[in-house]
Amino acid sequence: MKLLRYGAAGTEKPGLLDADGQVRDLSAIVSDISSETLAAGALGALSAFDPQTLPIVENVGRLGPCVGNIGKFICIGLNYADHAAEANLPIPAEPIIFLKANSAICGPNDTVLIPRGAQKTDWEVELGVVIGKGGKYIDQADALAHVAGYCVVNDVSERDFQMNRGGTWDKGKGCDTFGPVGPWLVTRDEIADPQNLAMWLDIDGQRCQDGSTRTMIFDVASLVSYVSQFMSLQPGDLISTGTPPGVGMGMKPPRFLAPGNIMELGIERLGTQRQRVEADR
């Protein structure tokens, strides 16, 4: 299934994308595609419905984040071998974990705001992993059973804040609008191999990132297991698993976002995003 949320920010309704690309309303079945419904086992109930029997949404309008009330927004740094080489950094011996503020989360096509004082705002297309079954100390062999599904994430990053403002990555990662999520949550059963998905990102029509989840250093199963050693995972938590090469910081000379830029990005079978960049006033 491809599950989504549509409508104005804060009042999104649940929907499903059918095989013909039409959005079907799920409001009569679930109140939201959220941490609460994932915890209640809603995916199993939704899979029993024939999409053709659900009402078509004629005017979808805005798409919201594909999961509402995301619990923890957990990110993995330097998780692609080719990105680590681009950054001239050693391959990590263990996954690097940091958190993005939940207030960074926005819809897949919402405007991205460059914060005041920013100098080096960058882009990162990433595979998002949504937890459907909670747990801690999860065995790697069982880790994928804890995954509800996958989505596209743009881990927007202000490199000057990240690198030069006291040594903690979070300052450059958690600004408002720095976490577009969606367009939809693709359930685990539709993605047989999360380690074989093409991914890309364009700035103003120019291809900047062109990679694949094949070059991940730590795969999805190992990341879910690893993160659960340090914090319990709950339904609705989101793990953003790192980015392939082609970020602005790694270009020669470096290139960063400016007001008016258009970011377009996507992952095979998971949909696409499009964001206009503006200055935060």
Q: Is residue 176 part of a domain?
A: yes
Q: Is residue 64 part of a domain?
A: no
Residues 46, 160 share a domain:
no
Residues 144, 234 share a domain:
yes
Residues 46, 145 share a domain:
no
CATH of the domain at 230: 3.90.850.10
Decide: helix, strand or coil at residue 109. Answer: coil
Residues 162, 34 share a domain:
no
Residues 200, 234 share a domain:
yes
How many Cα atoms occupy the beta-carbon half-sphere of 66 within 13 Å? 30
Selection from 115, 241, 261 nearest residue 174 by Cα: 115
**pLDDT of res. 183:** 98
Q: Is residue 67 part of a domain?
A: no
Per the listing, tokens 């939704």 go with 46
Residues 140, 48 share a domain:
no
Q: Is residue 47 part of a domain?
A: yes
* Torsion-angle region of 12 (φ positive above 0: left; ψ -120 to 50: alpha; else: beta): beta
Amino acid found at 218: F
To 5 degrees, how large is the angle CA 160–CA 262–CA 74?
A: 50
Show Cβ contacts of residue 199 under 8 Å, excluding neighbours closer than 6 positions: 125, 127, 209, 211, 212, 213, 244, 265, 266, 267, 268
Q: Is residue 259 part of a domain?
A: yes
Residues 99, 28 share a domain:
no
Q: Is residue 16 part of a domain?
A: yes
Boundaries of domain holding 44: 2-53
- 97: tokens are 């974990």
Q: How far apart are CA 166 and CA 194, in angstroms?
A: 35
CB neighbour class for 19 (10 Å; exposed up to 12, middle 13-18, buried from 19)? exposed
Residues 35, 80 share a domain:
no
Residues 88, 32 share a domain:
no
Residues 79, 7 share a domain:
no
Show Cβ contacts of residue 28 under 8 Å, excluding neighbours closer than 6 positions: none
Per the listing, tokens 């819809």 go with 107
Largest CA-CA distance found in the chain, in angstroms, rounded: 55
Q: Is residue 209 part of a domain?
A: yes
Q: Which ranges of the chain does DSSP label H, i.e. alpha helix? A: 35-39, 42-46, 81-86, 159-164, 220-227
Q: How many independent structural domains does the chain possess?
A: 2
Residues 125, 36 share a domain:
no
Residues 181, 48 share a domain:
no
Question: Tens place of pLDDT for every residue, the chain, 281 residues?
Answer: 999 999 999 999 999 999 999 999 999 999 999 988 898 788 888 888 899 999 999 999 999 999 999 999 999 999 999 888 887 888 999 999 999 999 999 999 999 999 999 999 999 999 999 999 999 999 999 999 999 999 999 999 999 999 888 777 889 999 999 999 999 999 999 999 999 999 999 999 999 999 999 999 999 999 999 999 999 999 999 999 999 999 999 999 999 999 999 999 999 999 999 999 999 98
**pLDDT of res. 87:** 79
How many Cα atoms occupy the beta-carbon half-sphere of 154 within 13 Å? 38
Selection from 210, 197, 202, 189 nearest residue 83 by Cα: 210
Q: Is residue 68 part of a domain?
A: no
